Amino acid sequence: MNLAQLFLVGFDSCSLDDSHWLTAALQRNPPSGVILFDRNVDGSIQNFSSSAGLKELTAQLRGLAAAPLLIAVDQEGGKVRRLKERDGFPAFPTAEELGKCGPERCAASAAAMAALLAEHGINLNLAPVADLNLNPASPIIARYGRSFSSDPACAADCCRAFIEAHRQHGVACCLKHFPGHGSAKGDTHLGFVDITADWQEVELEPYRLLICDGLADAVMTAHVVHRGLEPEGLPASLSPAVTALLRQRLGFSGLLITDDLQMKAVTDHYGYKEAVRRAVLAGADLLIVGNNLSRRPESLGEGMAAVQELLDQGLIAEERIKTSLARIAALHDNIKGEQTW
């Protein structure tokens, strides 16, 4: 049982040589996947700065990996995209712009986006955003036009078009940010965000609709805190209660992914080991460690050790980990076309 499979990791470098920590990991204990960034937060190049460079890197990653590999990016459109015009990639509208035009326009834009991702060896888009545009002053959702609509049916229709277009090109998607970030007043990249007084029940509706339609390839939990849903005040990504809401009430049985565990909403309150432990105990299947906000090449090994400790201490059952690994494997099969989405 390869515990590295529970992680989606970022890394520095536009290519991998024998001395790179990820080269050894991909060959011996490969993580489920990698998450790519064009630039670091300081503006330096992290993984690619051209179409040719990105194609070369993804081909190298696949060639090195001893197991099927998820190669992920955040490519929502608008401001939130890793494949940018400055590096020779086409521009894409924001979700807000597409939401005003309707699902047909969204489908056309998403098809072009998915074709671009597939051409460059990317098989997981950490999009679309299913958050509702409920707070016009939101610093991280409304500010960047990341929500399709304040209306749940419209948002779900656009997410549906987005996902279906990606599936046609063999690219999986991930709905985010559960249980809803659109009403929040803060940005979890920067610190603690409490949505208890702002969150609305309607924010669950796009997820419910898409799950019922079998269109939720994966769902990402946010680092927001809702004390009504989570009495202990844990971020949703580390909360068994929020996971139960998604699994039991909304009936989601697919892949549950955390937002980046290096975001300050987590790191300001928990050490890395504790965050990994809590995320796994909360029921997360795949943990993102971006190594973009913070560079920690040792994070994969430390994360595996933290999960092994849970197993050794009898705090989590081996079958529970195997269930997560099976969900990851099922997503790989869908991407390869070996199962029906």
CA distances from 167 to 54, 96, 279 (A): 21, 22, 28
Low-confidence ranges of the chain (pLDDT < 70): 186, 188, 190-192, 338-341
Question: In terms of residue numbers, what domain contains 197?
Answer: 3-335
111 in any annotated domain: yes
Amino acid making up residue 73: V
* Residue 213 is assigned to a structural domain of this protein: yes
3-state secondary structure of 204: helix
Q: Please report whether residue 36 resides in a domain.
A: yes
What is the reported pLDDT for 220? 98
In a domain, 80, yes or no: yes
pTM of the model: 0.96
Within a domain: residue 58?
yes
Angle (CA) 324 228 219, round 5°: 30
Would 44 be classed as within a structural domain? yes
Torsion of CA 46, 47, 49, 53, to 10 degrees: 160
Considering the candidates 198, 259, 260, 285, report the single residue annotated as catalytic.
Answer: 259
Instruction: Classify each residue of 239-249 as buried b or exposed e, where b means 16 or more C-beta atoms within 10 Å of its C-beta.
Output: beebbebbbee
φ/ψ (deg, to 5) at 106? -65, -40
Q: What is the pLDDT, as a whole number, of residue 265?
A: 84
* Cα three-residue angle 55-171-132, rounded to 5 degrees: 120
189 is catalytic: yes
Say which CATH number the domain at 122 has: 3.20.20.300
Enclosing H/E stretch for 78: none
Closest CA to 224 of 211, 216, 233: 233
Tokens of 43: 């503006």
Whether 340 maps to a domain, the answer reads: no
Catalytic residue, candidates 151, 189, 194, 269: 189
Closest CA to 183 of 140, 230, 144, 126: 140
pLDDT of residue 22: 97
Which structure tokens are listed for 195? 């949505």
Would 341 be classed as within a structural domain?
Answer: no
Q: How many separate domains does the chain show?
A: 1
